[in-house]
Structure 1
């Protein structure tokens, strides 16, 4: 994608001359548009967080604690602005990543995960498929046209990553990972903080759990090991399946993806054996100690995230934890030819300025979650694409106007804490 991302601004204004109105670029308004289209319980499922939702608010507030310091007359050209980054040994056109979010059929029944994947592929943004998908992993990969075997290390960002909710059954884990590898998914994203569902009052008060009705379990329902061991060999997706069979299969699937038992650090050796030498990143890292253990376990990166506040209530904002973790990762000595460990960040990104702050504090890539969900709900694939274009244009313009020619120039020196005295 060679054109300036900020060109989206001109595209919108020129389109307006012909009466073409864009999807709103105000992401708060977009959420309201999505809310008006969705069933109340579906909106609450995506918008909600754990218990008092204090962690979700802390995520947003953490960005307010840092201010960008603009510099002028820096000979900046938007036409030459560079947003490229390296993630897991490959160069990508932008630092954006699609965060894994499940049950996308509740947001857009017709297109679901495929719409999000196609929008990501169009903009050369790596797409992370949730284990809790509404479409089988093979279908999503094929429909989006991801490259199965890129021949060059820097073959761009038209690829997909697979997020794992780690099943309790090792045979099922092996089957899911084998399928993901065969399909072409490049990076394994292991979510650590969802071995049990958090306490979520919005869902509890409406008794809404989509998984119990067979939603968000397409990967598991389509898995031959799961069908053989937990469905008496009968495909739960078949036309003549009974409601009781769906319920039974759904309960079995939930018991695997969210078993109520945490894995241990020693178990990571199993994933390395199954995934081979391809990149593995641990998602849910919030402490320096856990980042160090991830490195000791041979992982290729850490994903600094608290699941958007959906799991642990009253927790620290994720951005607050990023600087120390990123500093540690960057301090690691590298052997000749060795690639630096990758740092991904999510939780609370809502604007180009937020992306700038996360990059300045040490993230190599920034994952986007809820904002594109609202685009998917409002306008399907086009809605997801326009949210991503909005964030990229906002990022490029904000960084350029603040005096930067590339996102690589962003560092801690470009920020001041809101409570600092000048």
Structure 2
């Protein structure tokens, strides 16, 4: 099951997607998630909206493979500070989320009157019991004006490979390659941005075809079983990133709950490989997929 992403070896192509506010699920929050990822020898993408400081996350799992996910802030200096901090702390890639020029119409949040920015960030994250968190949490708007030309500015300030998260079309995939990014995460933001866009798995094939092997393509969204991992790899993903199930495991039993979720997915994926005759991830290919014809 071993493979590599951006040249780094991982024990299986099952890694952790960036999700925010892990302390809502468990007291140690992202520190527990990072420890579980390190123990599993897989990659953990830490969110801009982590509820622990980057320093504490790194200290909790100093040997772990970490990427840093960035929501682009309107203040360029703040972006630069965040990127340079992540690079100095040993994060190995910069993941820029490009599908949130504004927050989508999240009806459940409206119905339940959920406003994390006001009710969590300004209240709880500023309290002593929440520990040392990043100062930009206090006000963290997302820049709606980010465009392709901005990528050269990011590339000028960091040596980290740049991954774009939130690509769903071949046209955007081609533009990503044209602008010299190192990877793409095919993602619909967990279905939380625009209703009725394609599922990530449905957009994967055209993105893989568009990049023609020039950059690595990953997928997040909808991964619930080892079979899902196998399907994603068969359709051309190098690796999948798991979101909600990690939070479910974290809420259940902290670090050990995350480890159990990862173990379940790894074991199921191993079984799926075995029963389809794949002795390594290199042998997983589109011949395993049968498309239904309506």
Q: TM-score per shorter chain, which class?
A: over 0.9
Corresponding position of 2:218: 344
Shift of 1:327: 2.3
Compared CA separation, residues 164 and 216, structure 1 to 2 (3 A): farther
Q: 1:416 is paired with a residue of what secondary structure?
A: coil
Q: Quick check: 1:286–1:304 contact (8 Å CA) kept in 2?
A: yes
Pairing partner for 1:293 from 166, 175, 188: 175
Name the residue aligned to 1:40.
none
Superposition deviation, residue 195 in structure 1? 2.7
The number of equivalent residue pairs is 288
Q: Is the 8 A contact 1:132 1:217 kept in 2?
A: no
Structure 1 CA distance for aligned equivalents of residues 123 and 216 of structure 2? 29
**In structure 2, C-alpha distance between the alignment counterparts of 1:214 and 1:272, rounded to whole Å:** 33
Residues 216 and 178 (structure 1 numbering): CA distance in 2 closer, same or farther, change over 3 Å? farther
Partner of 2:47: 130
Task: Give the structure 2 partner of residue 116 of structure 1.
Answer: 33
Deviations 1:112-149 (A, max 9, x none): 11111100000001110000010011110111123xxx
357 and 107 in structure 1: CA distance in 2 versus 1, 3 angstrom threshold: same
Is structure 2 residue 210 aligned with structure 1 residue 322? no
State whether residues 350 and 371 of structure 1, in contact with CA within 8 Å, keep that contact through their aligned partners in structure 2. yes
After superposition, where does 1:242-257 map in structure 2 within 5 Å? 253-255=139-141
- Number of the residue aligned with 1:274: 157
Distance 1:216 1:143 in 2: 25
What are the Cα deviations for residues 42-83 of structure 1, in whole angstroms up to 9, with x where unaligned? Answer: xxxxxxxxxxxxxxxxxxxxxxxxxxxxxxxxxxxxxxxxx1
Contact 2:73 2:140 in 1 (8 A): no
**How far does the alpha carbon of each residue in 1:142-189 deviate from its partner, in whole angstroms, 9 at most, with x for none?**
11123xxxxxxxxxxx31000000111001011111111111101100
Q: Structure 1: how far apart are the matches of 2:120 and 2:201? A: 35
Q: Which of 247, 252, 274 does residue 373 from structure 1 map onto?
A: 247
Q: Is the 8 A contact 2:166 2:188 kept in 1?
A: yes
> Partners of 2:241 and 2:266 in 1: how far apart?
12
Report the alpha carbon displacement of residue 284 of structure 1 after superposing the two structures with TM. 0.3
Rounded Cα–Cα distance in structure 2 between residues aligned with 1:87 and 1:139: 24
Pairwise CA distance, 1:107: 1.0
- Distance in 2, matches of 1:161 and 1:190, equals 10
Contact 1:112-1:134 within 8 A present in 2 as well: yes
The residue matched to 2:104 in structure 1 has which SS? Answer: coil
Task: Give the counterpart of 1:265 among 137, 140, 148.
Answer: 148
Which residue of the partner structure matches residue 394 of structure 1?
268
Measure, in 2, the Cα distance between the counterparts of 1:408 and 1:211. 43
* TM-score, reference length from structure 2: 0.92
Q: Higher relative CO (CA 8 A, sep ≥ 6), structure 1 or 2?
A: 1
Mapped to 1, the partners of 2:189 and 2:123 lie a distance apart of: 19
- 2:8 aligned partner: 90
Q: Distance in 2 between matches of 1:216 and 1:124?
A: 35
Structure (1 or 2) with the larger CA radius of gyration: 1
Structure 2 residue aligned with 1:305 = 187
Residues 130 and 216 (structure 1 numbering): CA distance in 2 closer, same or farther, change over 3 Å?
farther
| Counterpart selection for 2:23 from 94, 105, 110 | 105
CA deviation string 1:260-302 (max 9, x = no partner): x2311001111111222x2110000111111111111110011
Secondary structure of 2:212's counterpart equals helix
Pair 1:329–1:85, CA change in 2 (3 A): farther
Task: Give the secondary structure class of the aligned counterpart of 1:162.
Answer: strand
**Runs of 4+ residues over 6 Å off in structure 1:** none
Q: Does the alignment pair 1:141 with 2:58?
A: yes
1:234-249 to structure 2, matched below 5 A, reads none
Aligned to 2:133: none
Query: Could you list the runs of 5+ residues in structure 2 that have no partner in the other structure?
Result: 130-135
**Over aligned residue pairs, what C-alpha RMSD do you find?**
2.0
